[in-house]
């Protein structure tokens, strides 16, 4: 897989005025809600420290904790599977479906399953996966894809959704009141929940100590999928572990406040193997690598595996809030996508993503597990430069560096630039530059090189 | 080809990593409010997320439930097999949920349960599948959930709650459901809509 | 106190008046300012573009040039932040101008007078990396005649980001457009900040719109003695 270059993809998205308006309104709302509930806690920074340190500990002991998780979950009655990549994980889920003669599964929103394109894999195996999260349902009905981790249809407004429902699950619907739209999806999905033979979920956390799986959600579709069907398969990225049950006291504070800006999300489900007579009587857990061990190999970049997918970094990002998620070309958009995708699929396949940032640092400031995203971006830019090898840019940067290593050369360069700008400069401003600098003058004037540089002014003082 | 388990574990083992220091835990683990303030806070916070909250004397729980059921027009109501008798309301049909399949649950007008612990700061109630709470599906399929919370079950902070729940998971593997308000979605322009797939109405009776 | 001035490569070349203003302010307060002529660039450009080795060379060069000063001052908070990170030994002696004035020299009134409406844009690096806090605001509040006007979404990035402005020109321009809208809506005649590079971006945007609002470095406001 290779993602298309960010600059062009972003430019395409920027042209969509409706998208920009929807996105801006939504990210503004969620950002201020988050700020309000975070400010309520006097110990927020201590929670962030704990969250970040617990995750660092998980990565340091990942192999040991995975085995501990497997042992505990198995003892509690779950079947634990391992998958090196998405194809392997998809095959496991498809096989379980086949064994139970199932041609339809209900599914909770999960980035991990999107990452491995599970729905397509299942479709090939003759199994229809029904997305049950409201937003995911909208996207699935429209053949669209997610643009936000938490609010996947953030780019759609109510009228667009009403029109879509009228064409698909609710012929004749006229109201675009969110309550009526939600009711339409309730009616459509209820029947499917009640008849479902198999549920598929991701997971927010897996507890190594107890083998517990945890799903955090709002609508109740998660509870439906993980309790009603007799068979449940949950796919867990290997980095999702927490060492101990009590660690939830940190993460269940960090996650809802950072993501939906609520003190607590409506529903959190935790199950530990099979409970006789209650919920699925056959439980599967698939532990997925799919590039995560590759991320772990990078000492600086591995902190991206701390991510709890809260999406706070998206909502504050000056780039994401303008371009939306599609420009990032993967299921992980925004600042976290810019550092995670290149590591998961290889920098050579996503080399423009680490540059899709102004390095403003707003993401780092809000990240509940303190991922130093700007630092990882710089690290990955260096990797991208290395991977590209010889290039015009590298040559230029070498020459610029060499120039800066001597004041004499630098002074000379200033003089050359002053002469070179003559055809472009007027009244101290440059209004149009040739490529590759033409991007600047599209929307901005540029200060011309001064007649008297600071150093010559100083020398003549 | 080695199996996936061996290979994934080998990939990890091959990566040099420093042991991480013991995580710091400088956050609050016990509250500072008085018992009355904690109850007060729980009621406010639960109501904040649109749960309907009523406070009654321990002896008046059943009457309060009768009123709630009447207000919602609920006739057939599911209960866990162990719901204490003094909470069972008169004048409606109480059905033991353990005898019902999913379709049966779907025909209920509501459910009445107790809870295991409640957290004031977040307005959360926690169910753990005890006989007084029933199976997880009981509080999911019917459209109304009436939950009785006893005053002494309310703790101030989430860490206090989690530490009470740990033993239930460690020793009995009990399934847990944390509930904070009725189900909701904010997927349409981030407008919050109460009630999607879970019960659209949550009534909390705080007793004592 | 003998203060070494790091004027920055951009400042030296594109907006020398900012460096001159720093000299004016510090000399007015009775300090000796020295401009070591060997200086060029701190290496931030290279660090931010993925060339850490070149960046490190330039930081080392910076250290050898400025190592002997009591204090080093620069009108660019992002350069200061960059140097502090890569030259930890020198870090305690390197200051952005407002930090030097307020935190190190304890001065909040520099005797300036600038009778205009001014909006202050806290640049990302001054806010989150160098952490200058409210030092610029304290200085601005003591400028005679100056009316500080609030700026909507002040803490949001201007879209500069070094090579980002060129590599992702369309996105950079979209971010800048919102910043310029906010500045124009504030009713200010000037927008000020403590980073020359962000002012290059904001100023370039404002000039192109020809709305009459100008971008001006904090140093130049502090150097001004305009009467009303
Ligand atoms: S990187 Fe941090 S802020 Fe962004 S989604 Fe992950 S946890 Fe949330």
| Residue B187 near chain A (CB below 8 Å) | yes
The answer, yes or no, to whether residue B1 has pLDDT greater than 70, is no
**Contact flag C12-A454 (C-beta cutoff 8 Å):** yes
Size of interface A-C (CB pairs under 8 A): 187
This prediction has a pTM of 0.95
The answer, yes or no, to whether residue A429 has pLDDT greater than 90, is no
Chains in contact with C, counting 3 or more C-beta pairs less than 8 Å apart as contact: A
| Residue B101 near chain A (CB below 8 Å) | no
Residue C228: per-residue pLDDT:
67
Residue A152: per-residue pLDDT:
72
Residue B137 lies in a domain: yes
Centre a 10 Å sphere on the Cβ of residue B17 and count the other Cβ atoms it contains.
17
Q: Which residues of A touch C45 (CB under 8 A)?
A: 400
Helices A178-195 and A134-142: crossing angle, nearest 10°? 90
Average pLDDT, stretch A51-60? Answer: 98
Helix (H, G, I), strand (E, B) or coil at C51: coil
Q: What would the two tokens of residue A18 be?
A: 């409706």
| Residue B163 near chain A (CB below 8 Å) | yes
Total domain count, chain B: 1
Residue C81: per-residue pLDDT:
97
Give the mean pLDDT of chain A.
93
Average pLDDT, stretch A385-406? Answer: 93
For residue A104, the distance in angstroms to the closest alpha carbon of chain C comes to 42
228 residues of chain C, pLDDT tens digit each? 889 999 999 999 999 999 999 999 999 999 999 999 999 999 999 999 999 999 999 999 999 999 999 999 999 999 999 999 999 999 999 999 999 999 999 999 999 999 999 999 999 999 999 999 999 999 999 999 999 999 999 999 999 999 999 999 999 999 999 999 999 999 999 999 999 999 999 999 999 998 899 999 999 999 999 886
| Phi/psi of residue A106, nearest 5 degrees | -100, 145
**Contact flag B122-A62 (C-beta cutoff 8 Å):** no
Residue B135: per-residue pLDDT:
96
For chain C, domains (ranges, CATH) are 2-104 (3.40.50), 117-223 (3.40.50)
Among candidates A195, A189, A193, A216, which has minimal Cα distance to A110? A216
Write out pLDDT tens, residues A356-381. 999 999 999 999 999 999 999 999 99
The answer, yes or no, to whether residue A135 has pLDDT greater than 90, is no
Using 50, 70 and 90 to split pLDDT, how confident is the model at B206?
Answer: very high
* Best of A312, A315, A333, A366 for a ligand 1 pocket test (most atoms within 8 Å of beta carbon): A312
| A415 → chain C, closest CA residue | C13
List of E strands, chain C: 2-5, 32-34, 71-74, 94-96, 117-120, 147-149, 190-193, 214-217
Residue B50 lies in a domain: yes
| Residue B198 near chain A (CB below 8 Å) | yes
The answer, yes or no, to whether residue B187 has pLDDT greater than 80, is no
Cα A129 from Cα A147, distance rounded (Å): 20
ipTM: 0.96
Average pLDDT, stretch B31-38? Answer: 97
**Contact flag A275-B19 (C-beta cutoff 8 Å):** no
Among candidates A373, A318, A358, A361, which has minimal Cα distance to C127? A361
Buried b (16+ CB within 10 A) or exposed e, A58-92: bbbbbbebbebbbebbeebbbbbbbbbebebbbeb
Bridging pattern class, strands B144-150 and B201-207 = parallel
For chain A, domains (ranges, CATH) are 41-290 (3.40.50.10420), 392-460 (no CATH)
For the four alpha carbons of B101, B102, B108 and B112, in that order, the dihedral sign comes to: positive
The answer, yes or no, to whether residue B27 has pLDDT greater than 90, is yes
The answer, yes or no, to whether residue A145 has pLDDT greater than 70, is yes
Q: Are C157 and C181 in contact (CB under 8 A)?
A: no
Residue C49 sits at the vertex; the CA angle it makes with A367 and A416, to the nearest 5 degrees, is 145
The answer, yes or no, to whether residue B45 has pLDDT greater than 70, is yes
Write out pLDDT tens, residues A318-351. 999 999 999 999 889 999 999 999 999 999 999 9
Token pair 């926690």 is found at B126
Residue B7 lies in a domain: no
Token pair 């207000």 is found at B71
Residue closest via CA to ligand 1's atom 2 equals: A367
Chains in contact with A, counting 3 or more C-beta pairs less than 8 Å apart as contact: B, C
Q: Which of C11, C125, C173 sits opposite A443 (nearest CB)?
A: C173
**Contact flag B173-A273 (C-beta cutoff 8 Å):** yes
Cα C122 from Cα C195, distance rounded (Å): 9
Write out pLDDT tens, residues B141-166. 999 999 999 999 999 999 999 999 99
Q: Which residues pair with C32 in a beta bridge?
A: C2
Residue B21 lies in a domain: no
Cα A378 from Cα A343, distance rounded (Å): 13
- Structural domain range at position B131: 32-185+198-207
User: Ligand 1 centre from C214 Cα, in Å?
Assistant: 37
**CATH assignment of the domain containing B115:** 3.40.50.10420
Residue B152 lies in a domain: yes
Residue C159 sits at the vertex; the CA angle it makes with C153 and C165, to the nearest 5 degrees, is 170
Token pair 């698939």 is found at A286
Centre a 10 Å sphere on the Cβ of residue C46 and count the other Cβ atoms it contains.
26
Q: Do chains B and C touch (3 or more CB pairs under 8 A)?
A: no
Bridging pattern class, strands A429-430 and A446-447 = antiparallel
* Best of A30, A253, A258, A364 for a ligand 1 pocket test (most atoms within 8 Å of beta carbon): A258
* Residue C204 exposed, middle or buried by CB count within 10 Å (0-12, 13-18, 19+): buried
Q: Are A260 and A226 in contact (CB under 8 A)?
A: no
């Amino acid at each position: 897989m290779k993602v298309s270059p960010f600059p062009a993809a972003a430019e395409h998205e920027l042209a969509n005025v409706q998208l920009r308006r929807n996105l801006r309104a939504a990210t503004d709302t969620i950002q201020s809600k988050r700020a309000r509930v975070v400010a309520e806690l006097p110990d927020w920074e201590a929670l962030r420290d704990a969250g970040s340190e617990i995750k660092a500990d998980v990565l340091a002991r990942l192999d040991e904790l995975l085995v501990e998780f497997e042992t505990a979950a198995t003892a509690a009655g779950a079947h634990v599977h391992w998958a090196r990549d998405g194809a392997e994980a998809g095959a496991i889920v498809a096989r379980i479906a086949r064994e139970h003669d199932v041609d339809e599964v209900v599914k909770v929103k999960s980035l991990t399953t999107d990452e491995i394109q599970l729905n397509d894999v299942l479709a090939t195996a003759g199994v229809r996966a029904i997305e049950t999260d409201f937003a995911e349902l909208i996207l699935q009905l429209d053949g669209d894809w997610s643009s936000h981790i938490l609010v996947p249809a953030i780019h759609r407004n109510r009228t667009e959704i009403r029109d879509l429902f009228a064409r698909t699950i609710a012929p004749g619907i006229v109201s675009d009141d969110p309550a009526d739209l939600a009711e339409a999806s309730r009616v459509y999905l209820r029947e499917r929940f009640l008849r479902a033979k198999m549920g598929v979920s991701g997971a927010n956390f897996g507890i190594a100590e107890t083998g517990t799986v945890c799903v955090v959600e709002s609508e109740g579709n998660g509870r439906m999928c993980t309790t009603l069907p007799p068979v449940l398969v949950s796919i867990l990225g290997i980095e999702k572990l927490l060492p101990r049950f009590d660690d939830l006291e940190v993460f269940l504070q960090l996650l809802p406040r950072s993501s939906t800006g609520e003190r607590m999300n409506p529903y959190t489900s935790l199950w530990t193997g099979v409970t006789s007579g209650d919920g699925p009587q056959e439980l599967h857990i698939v532990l997925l690598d799919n590039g995560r061990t590759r991320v772990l190999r990078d000492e600086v970049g591995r902190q991206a595996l701390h991510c709890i997918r809260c999406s706070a970094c998206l909502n504050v990002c000056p780039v994401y809030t303008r371009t939306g998620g599609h420009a990032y070309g993967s299921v992980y958009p925004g600042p976290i996508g810019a550092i995670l995708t290149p590591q998961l699929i290889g920098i050579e396949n996503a080399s423009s993503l680490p540059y899709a940032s102004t390095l403003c640092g707003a993401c780092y400031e809000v990240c509940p597990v303190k991922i130093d995203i700007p630092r990882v971006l710089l690290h990955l830019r260096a990797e991208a430069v290395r991977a590209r090898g010889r290039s015009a840019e590298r040559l230029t940067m070498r020459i610029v560096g060499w120039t800066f290593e001597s004041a004499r050369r630098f002074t000379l360069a200033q003089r050359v630039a002053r002469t070179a700008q003559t055809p472009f400069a007027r009244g101290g401003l440059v209004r149009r530059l040739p490529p590759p600098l033409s991007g600047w003058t599209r929307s901005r004037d540029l200060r011309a090189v001064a007649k008297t540089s600071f150093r010559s002014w100083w020398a003549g003082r | 080809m080695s199996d996936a388990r061996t290979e994934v574990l080998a990939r990890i083992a091959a990566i040099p990593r420093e042991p991480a220091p013991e995580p710091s835990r400088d956050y609050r683990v016990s509250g500072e409010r008085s018992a009355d303030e904690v109850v007060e806070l729980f009621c406010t916070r639960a109501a904040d997320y649109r749960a309907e909250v009523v406070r009654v004397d321990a002896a008046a729980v059943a009457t309060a439930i009768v009123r709630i059921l009447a207000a919602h027009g609920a006739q057939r109501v599911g209960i866990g097999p162990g719901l204490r008798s003094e909470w069972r309301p008169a004048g409606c049909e109480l059905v033991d949920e353990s005898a019902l399949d999913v379709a049966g649950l779907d025909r209920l007008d509501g459910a009445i349960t107790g809870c295991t612990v409640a957290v004031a700061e977040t307005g959360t109630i926690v169910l753990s599948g005890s006989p007084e709470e029933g199976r997880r599906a009981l509080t999911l399929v019917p459209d109304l959930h009436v939950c009785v919370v006893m005053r002494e079950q309310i703790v101030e902070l989430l860490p206090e709650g989690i530490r009470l729940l740990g033993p239930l998971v460690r020793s009995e593997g009990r399934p847990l459901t944390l509930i904070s308000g009725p189900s909701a979605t904010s997927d349409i322009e981030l407008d919050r809509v109460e009630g999607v797939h879970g019960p659209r109405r949550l009534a909390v009776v705080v007793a004592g | 106190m003998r203060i070494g001035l790091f004027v920055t490569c951009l400042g030296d070349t594109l907006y020398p008046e900012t460096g001159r203003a720093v000299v004016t302010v510090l000399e007015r307060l009775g300090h000796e300012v020295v401009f070591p002529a060997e200086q060029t660039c701190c290496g931030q450009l290279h660090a931010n573009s993925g060339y850490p080795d070149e960046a490190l060379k330039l930081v080392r060069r910076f250290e050898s040039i400025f190592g002997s000063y009591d204090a080093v001052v620069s009108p660019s908070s992002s350069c200061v932040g960059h140097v502090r990170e890569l030259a930890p030994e020198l870090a305690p002696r390197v200051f952005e101008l407002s930090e030097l004035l307020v935190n190190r020299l304890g001065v909040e009134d520099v005797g300036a007078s600038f009778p205009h409406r001014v909006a202050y844009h806290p640049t990302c690096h001054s806010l989150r990396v160098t952490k200058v806090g409210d030092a610029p605001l304290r200085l601005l509040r003591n400028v005679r005649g100056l009316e500080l006007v609030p700026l909507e979404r002040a803490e949001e990035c201007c879209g500069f980001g070094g090579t980002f402005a060129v590599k992702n020109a369309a996105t950079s321009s979209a971010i800048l457009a919102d910043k310029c809208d906010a500045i124009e809506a504030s009713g200010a005649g000037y927008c000020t900040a403590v980073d020359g590079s962000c002012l290059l971006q904001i100023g370039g945007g404002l000039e192109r719109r020809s709305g009459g609002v100008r971008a001006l470095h904090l140093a130049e406001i502090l150097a001004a003695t305009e009467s009303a």
